[in-house]
Chains A and B, each alone.
Chain A
């Protein structure tokens, strides 16, 4: 079945890099996504990667995809206090629904 797993919590010092990890099960997913949710807010799409790519970089964000291990990671360089939020990994179901299947989220705490 479809399942997406993430570690629950990550704490880093301001200015350090953060790496948030995710594993997924559906090898047919063509796209994988990272969303950010700040307290009391909705979900903001941060970035996504197509399944034929190994890496995608977008300013401070780097996404790495290991298809063999079904492992996805999000690296945030020079982490700032404003990056404190919950980060969700999601894969797309390649059936007629095109629904997103979410992990439970990783809470990132950035310490000054």
Chain B
């Protein structure tokens, strides 16, 4: 959807390990978003970016950091993973002409 890819697709981490999730777009969108989805819940916004070099916090930013050094890439970092960060992570592109968002295929992360 809308040329957005996410890597990796799956990852298992031990508590305390770190990792970086990559969202890449091949279009020219200014805005990019990172959401997490937990069982029985909709997506909740972690961080977002309104352009290269900018980032802002969403509803659930604790334990995550982000960077947008290049317009086409939005990185989500976990410095010290915790079991509470076990989730599926989605990158969103937006807003469309009607502010709709398109989502990447997701990264399934398990922290043991």
> Which A residues have a C-beta under 8 Å from some C-beta of B?
4, 8, 30-31, 33, 41-45, 48, 50, 88, 90, 92, 96-100, 102-105
B99:A97 contact, CB within 8 angstroms: no
B74 interface hit (Cβ, 8 Å): no
Nearest chain A CB to B52 CB, angstrom units: 16
Whether B99 lies near A45 (C-beta < 8 A) is: no
Chain A to chain B contacts (Cβ below 8 Å), 6 pairs: A42-B106, A88-B43, A97-B45, A102-B43, A103-B42, A105-B41
State whether the Cβ of B87 lies closer than 8 Å to any Cβ in chain A. Answer: no
**Once the chains are docked, how many angstroms separate the CA of A41 from the CA of B58?**
23
User: Which residue of B41, B45, B56, B100 contacts A104 across the interface (Cβ within 8 Å)?
Assistant: B41
B interface residues, how many (CB within 8 angstroms): 26
The DSSP consensus for interface residues of chain B is loop
Task: Using A31-B98, A41-B105 as known contacts, say yes or no to A99 and B41 having CB atoms under 8 A apart.
Answer: no
With contact pairs A4-B42, A92-B95, A105-B42 given, residues A100 and B101 touching in the complex (Cβ less than 8 Å): yes
A45 in contact with B102 (CB, 8 Å) = yes
A47 nearest CB neighbor, chain B only: B100
Contacts of B33 in A (CB 8 A): 99
Known: A42-B90, A92-B95. A100 touches B43 (CB 8 A): yes
A18 to B6 CA separation, bound complex (whole angstroms): 33
16 other A-B residue contacts (CB within 8 Å) besides A92-B99, A104-B41: A8-B40, A41-B106, A43-B43, A43-B103, A45-B1, A45-B101, A45-B102, A88-B42, A97-B45, A97-B56, A100-B43, A100-B101, A102-B44, A104-B40, A105-B41, A105-B42
CB distance from B3 to the nearest CB of A (A): 14
Q: Which among B42, B48, B99, B105 has the greatest number of chain A C-beta atoms within 10 A?
A: B42
